[in-house]
Amino acid sequence: MDAVVKPLRKAQLSDHVRRAPPATARPSREEAEAAVRTLLAFTGDDPDREGLLGTPKRVVDAYEELYGGYGECPAEVLDRTFSEIGKYDDFVLVRDIAFSSHCEHHMMPFTGKAHIAYKPIERVVGLSKLARLVDIYARRLQTQEHMTSQIATAIDEILNPRGVAVMLEAEHMCMSVRGVEKPGSSTITTQFIGSFRDSPEEQVRFMSMLRGG
Ligand SMILES: [Zn+2]
């Protein structure tokens, strides 16, 4: 097996890459469940009817999972890299990484796929780590634009590659089931850094590999 080495990091890591967000004063589980009861009553339903009695607990349990990204640090996930990549000098593309996040404006889901390419210098990261990185940022309240740039920045700062390309395509429930109610529309965001930003040809190759079968 190739040697595990520490990557050559950039001198200054961004806050969101270096550590999990600082914990704010967090309400207790009881307070969170009471808040869910309030919202249940706000819908017009009766929080005390049998079918809803366990709902506040289940919603808070789900929150622990859906927003688990606040307790995780991107730099730790990408910390182990592998050297000895031989003469490999092209980019590595992982496409169709499914994710599910929540928009920070409505706390409604947006779901879709992330495609990530980076052009390594001497060091590569385990492919599953890129998927974990996506999950860390997805399991926080997000905008799709912000999430795209955070993923790209984390890879750039930790692996220090020649370039990074990230594309997210997602459907936003706040657009498909409420508001303008346009199901089926998708939003695409891209962030190019380094060689991908500098070279339109590299961007074209990235796009055509995404379209390829
Ligand atoms: Zn929204």
Longest dimension (CA), the chain: 66
Burial of 3 (0-12, 13-18, 19+ CB in 10 A): exposed
Neighbours of ion ligand 1 (CB under 5 A): 103, 105-106, 174
Nearest CA-CA partner of 119 in 189, 203, 188, 190: 203
Positions marked catalytic: 103-106, 144, 172, 174
pLDDT digit string (tens) for the chain, length 213 residues: 445 555 556 668 898 888 877 777 889 999 999 999 999 999 999 999 999 999 999 999 999 999 999 999 999 988 877 776 777 888 999 999 999 999 999 999 999 999 999 999 878 888 899 999 999 999 999 999 999 999 999 999 999 999 999 999 999 999 888 888 888 889 999 999 999 999 999 999 999 999 875
Q: What are the start-end ranges of the H helices in 2-143? A: 15-18, 29-43, 55-66, 74-77, 127-138
Residues 6 or more apart in contact with residue 94 via CB below 8 angstroms = 115, 116, 117, 127, 130, 131
Between the CA of 96 and the centroid of ligand 1 the distance, in Å, is: 23
Q: Give dist(CA 40, CA 164) in Å, integer.
A: 44
pTM (predicted TM-score): 0.90
What are the CA-CA distances from residue 38 to residues 56, 64, 67, 98, 108 (Å)? Answer: 10, 19, 21, 33, 18
